[in-house]
Amino acid sequence: MGRSIKTEDIIITPTTTSILAFKVNDYVEEPCVRCGSCILSCPADLQPVSIMNAVKRKDMSALKAFDTKNCIECGLCSYVCTSKINVTDYVKKGKAMIL
C-alpha cells in the first residue's frame, strides 16, 4: 500500500511509516488488453479496469456505480496488470473525483 512518488522533493512527517526506493523502471505502459487480471485480484471485489475507463471518460455516475470509494488502495491491480498500467493511480483519482 502507499503512493508512488516520482520526485525526491517530498516532506517526511511523523505519520510516514516507511519509504521504498526503486530503480527507475525501464518499461512503458501498454494499452489494456482486457485480460481481467486486475478484476480477479481485487480484494475489494471491484472492477479496476472499468473504474480506470470511467476516470478517463470523467463518468461520475459510473464511478459511483462501480463502488470506487470501497478501494483500499492495496496496489494489487497495478502489480498484476499485464500491460504494466498503474491502475491503482486511476482508482485513487476516481475516489477523489467522487468525494
- Which residues, in sequence order, are CB contacts of 71 under 8 Å at separation 6+? 44, 46, 51, 91, 92, 94, 95
Residue 55 interacts with ligand SF4 (CB under 6 A): yes or no: no
- Which residues, in sequence order, are CB contacts of 33 under 8 Å at separation 6+? 82, 83
**Which of residues 60 and 83 has its CB atom nearest to ligand SF4 in the complex?**
83
Residue 38 interacts with ligand SF4 (CB under 6 A): yes or no: yes
Write down the least CB distance from residue 10 to ligand SF4, Å: 21
3-11, 13-21, 44-52, 59-67 -> range binding ligand SF4 (CB under 6 A): 44-52
One-letter amino acid of 74: C
